[in-house]
Chains A and B, each alone.
Chain A
Amino acid sequence: MMLPDRIFMRLLRLPYVRTRMLIMLLSLVMFVPLADQLLWRYVYGFINDLSPGTWLIFFVWLGFPDAFNFWVREELAFKRRLILCLGMLCFYVLALGAIPFDPYAYGFQPWIILFGLTAWVAWHGRNAAGITLLLGIDLAVYALHGLASDNLWDYLFDPVMMIVLAISLIRPLMSRRKIRSQS
């Protein structure tokens, strides 16, 4: 008969179990009281509401990598991730006032954005089922007014998503650099 500690050690060797335990641990840490309130409130004070897309990324990336396997068979290509990340960076730079043009203002009456998303999905939606699904969820949450924001942009992406994308670019960039230096 296998002892419980051995079962535990065997389970711990499974990568998904390890990841999920890490998530549980991190989640519990968020409820640790610090000064007069929970740690979560300090984190929330900084990051504010996360977009539905970021929650899904965390969901898939940290614990349930197979959840959307039917529609997403491979991760987003490096170039597309790079373009998305740079696009978000440009958006934030403009929204913070680099020039008089403010793209964020278009999210309060988002007709142009809705038209653009529809056109993109009509053109490319079948080949990018994962992103189409994500956009559909974003729009549904926007319609339900699921976040504090009244701006559609805040439902499509957020700075945390940009940071996650940037982190995901580091390893491919490093390996490309290594290959170049070897050749």
Chain B
Amino acid sequence: MKVGLVVNPVAGVGGRVGLKGSDSPEVQQQAFALGAVARAGERAATALRELLARRPDAAILTAAGAMGEESARAAGLTPMVVYVPGEPTSAADTVAAARTLAPHVDLLLFAGGDGTARDILEAVGDSLPVLGIPTGVKMHSAVFAVNPRAAGEVAASSSSSSRLRDAEVVDRVDGTTQLFGHLRVPDIPTRVQQRKTGSSGITPDAVSGIAAELADLLTPGELLVLGPGTTTRAIAAAWGVDIPVLGVSVLADQTLVAADVSGDELLKLVTATPARIAVTPIGGQGFLLGRGNQQLTPEVLRRVGLDRLHVVATEAKIAALGGRPLLVDTGDDRLDAAFPRYLRVISGHRRTILYPLHSERH
């Protein structure tokens, strides 16, 4: 198997000295001035060692120097170097290295944080399986293995027949968290959400149950506004409707009415016709509103009514929140305060989980 590796050498330097990220050259300089030590290369080497222990036949293709070559050598490998970055390295080098590697590898590993994940998304989109080695400060995206060793393990056990899942790439920009898109990540059951020994109950069933529950709630002609996310997209797919993962879509009677609608368009639609809204929390993070779905404006939410806003998530997704509450930040404090302390999250047909919601006003 051929594995590509892109290391963002400065990922994570900000965190160790108390900065909230490492995205700009100024922050990086400041971090190094404060005594930060770059650890990304070392963590990438840990992942490669794990990979090599399991798949001695794996060939590593990477970029020169600190962008991967050094990590490979530290892991005892002689990599094939296919890209030489500038000095100092920049986000443009991450994008260019990933683009160069993509056509030649079965899986692309990258070491970085949310900012690096965005660069990888820009470079390769959903063209090949990708997995993040967590080395950044901000890692809200769902594309990372739980630790570097786990990244090596997943890489070793992935193959051309591995199932893939769409994983959210999110990043905090100007104080708000935004959804940028999805990368295709190997879905290795023993490494991601654990499977039930000797039984089923995995996502496709759960999602079709959620779709059935929504179908029960809806009356003929009633609009269903679906927020962004892989859960909502899978719900639409259960009805044979293809919707974009990023935008807000509107369905009626299980057919598409409008995709990628703006807040204003949405307000017109829900004013003209009775509607319900279904949103899913951002995986691992819990934001329901105000992150990546700002088209669901306070006006739209008020028009539809909070009692007709439905939260959908599989049991596994709720478990992955690790007890953290759901979050809303609609931009309207009074609306945020109107949310109940507990929400009924639809997790299947006739199944809900009562889950706490936190807003600044509670």
> Do A and B bind?
no
